[in-house]
């Protein structure tokens, strides 16, 4: 592979390759993220089992999770929501705020996708942690964790995904 990877390249990578790519990826600006993105889940690692699984089976067009929508807002923090589509309707749920922070997954700063906002269920506010880096114009790589403490040492699942402009 030469140059920036494609989503297909990312799907073929193992968890260690994705983590290394993420560590050296650039930090996107909050302004450039403005808009609607399609999501492709790449890998998940069930940490108590130390087993990594590919997520090709969940990347079906009929499944509801489609990505994220970032909303432009003035100031240092942006807003957005996860985009879900069922039948002919699409909506954003699970609102989030964004900020540029030191990455918990390595390398330089990343864009935090913070679900600890009013209106989200407590399990999401306290248990999910996402961040995002830029691979190329229009291609972003995300890393996250689920479990008590989000991406901390007690997380139960770690995962990665790719975002592309919708």
Does the pLDDT at position 61 exceed 80? no
Fold observed for domain 7-165:
Lipocalin (2.40.128)
Q: How confident is the model at residue 26 (pLDDT cuts 50, 70, 90)?
A: very high
User: pLDDT per residue over 87-129, tens digit each?
Assistant: 677 777 889 999 999 998 888 999 999 999 988 988 888 888 8
* 3-state DSSP of 107-143: CCEEEEEECCCCCCCHHHHHHEEEEEEEEECCEEEEE
Q: Compute the mean pLDDT over every residue in the chain, rounded to the nearest whole number.
A: 82
The SS3 call for residue 57 is helix
pLDDT of residue 96: 92
Mean pLDDT of 12-37: 91
For residues 108 and 127, the answer to whether their CB atoms sit within 8 Å is no
For residue 158, the SS3 value is: strand
Domain positions in the chain: 7-165
Q: With cut-offs at 50, 70 and 90, classify the pLDDT of residue 48.
A: low
pTM reported for the whole predicted model: 0.83
pLDDT in tens, 64-85: 677 888 886 655 568 888 888 7
Tokens representing 129 are 């942690």
Higher pLDDT: 54 or 159? It is 159
CA 137 to chain centre: 16
Residue 150 has pLDDT above 60, yes or no: no
How far is the C-alpha of 69 from the C-alpha of 123, rounded, in Å? 21
In 3D space, the residue among 96, 105, 98, 108 whose CA is nearest the CA of residue 142 turns out to be 105
């Amino acid at each position: 592979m030469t140059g920036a990877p494609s989503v297909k390249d990312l799907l073929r990578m193992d968890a260690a390759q994705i983590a290394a790519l993420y560590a050296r990826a650039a930090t996107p600006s909050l302004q450039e993220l403005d808009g609607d993105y399609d999501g492709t889940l790449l890998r998940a690692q069930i940490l108590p089992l130390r087993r990594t699984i590919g997520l090709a089976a969940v990347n079906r067009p009929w499944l509801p999770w489609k990505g994220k929508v970032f909303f432009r807002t003035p100031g240092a923090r942006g807003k957005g929501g996860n985009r879900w589509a069922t039948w002919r309707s699409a909506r954003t749920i699970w609102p989030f705020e964004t900020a540029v922070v030191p990455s918990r997954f390595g390398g330089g700063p990343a864009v935090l996708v913070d679900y600890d906002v009013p209106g989200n269920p407590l399990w999401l506010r306290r248990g999910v942690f996402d961040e995002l880096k830029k691979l190329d114009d229009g291609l972003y790589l995300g890393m996250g964790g689920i479990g008590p403490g989000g991406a901390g040492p007690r997380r139960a699942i770690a995962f990665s995904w790719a975002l592309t402009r919708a």
